[in-house]
Amino acid sequence: MKYLVTGGAGFIGSNFVKLLLAEHSEAYVVNLDALTYAGHLENLADIADEPRYSFLHGDICDSELVDTAMEGVDVVFNFAAESHVDRSIIEAAPFVRTNVLGTATLLAAACAHGVRRFVQVSTDEVYGELPWRDPAASDPSALRFTEGTPLSPRSPYSATKAAADHLAIAYEKTYGLDVIITRCSNNYGPYQFPEKLIPLMITCALADETLPVYGDGLHVRDWIHVSDHCRGLLRAAEQGESGRVYNFGGDSERTNLTVVRELLRILGKPESLIDHVKDRPGHDRRYALDSSRANSELSWTPRISFEEGLRDTIDWYLANQDWCRVVSFNSL
């Protein structure tokens, strides 16, 4: 089986490429990545010499390159995206180009080459926001996003991801392309670029710098370890039904402030390092996913608790501070 993984040098993509190669001895993986600020070959240094893996440097908006990359491909996993909300607020155009036009380019090439299955990797942010609730309170009736929740994106990033999802479903309905869409809650784990919450807070704490927390810090996110997400993606590709959306949540709702305080506790750093900064525009108050479809149809559940995953993630960043310095320098 030949797989095309776009954005495979990024955080989730690089973890997925390694899992795919480990789980499927017959897999041959082509990784197409533009190596923008968040994509780094350092993330894949341990498989650089793997004969079942090849890297192709390029842009998913380049139709000629994409056409070449798609030759003989059985399954596509599209991770390639501009993904940081803050950056999308500053400048939306790169998000429209990569997330919308790039996905359209990939879908057209997949149709032309008769690809068996196209997996569009999306986000829970396309659903908008949920009513706030205290994650510490036991409330089994609390609302969560289901696959049937209407899309209501509230940032340029989430709007472009929603547009890409609509395009993917349109290709399934119009052209008969076998498409699956996956939507996931907040990922964390090794190789995450240090602008995202958990690695940013770790690197700031290690340097005894202030930890910037938006607003009151009570925004709620459902956290999932990247390895659990990657297992879900494999299950969706292997067992999912064409035209379906599958949510992958970690069942680990936490406020941002709770996450930061726990991180400081593990590192033995004082909470006085926390600095509440001006909230960003359109900051969604709460996300949480209902993963019951993935549970029932894919036999998938998250395995790694947030407590275990956070400790392992902190240990990884402690052991890989050189990686942090290299990727931060290369992104300048």
Active site (catalytic) residues: 124-125, 157
* CA torsion angle 162 163 166 170 (round to 10): -160
Strand partners, 145: 289
Check: CB of residue 50 under 8 Å from CB of residue 22.
no
Tell me whether residue 170 is exposed, middle or buried, using C-beta atoms within 10 angstroms of its C-beta: 0 to 12, 13 to 18, 19 or more: middle
Residues in the chain: 332
For 164-232, give the DSSP string.
HHHHHHHHHHHH---EEEEEE-EEESTT--TTSHHHHHHHHHHTT--EEEETTS--EEEEEEHHHHHHH
Tokens of 327: 């990727």
For 73-119, give the DSSP string.
-SEEEE------HHHHHH--HHHIIIIIIIHHHHHHHHHHTT-SEEE
Tokens of 213: 């927390």
Check: CB of residue 311 under 8 Å from CB of residue 265.
no
Tokens of 77: 């996993």
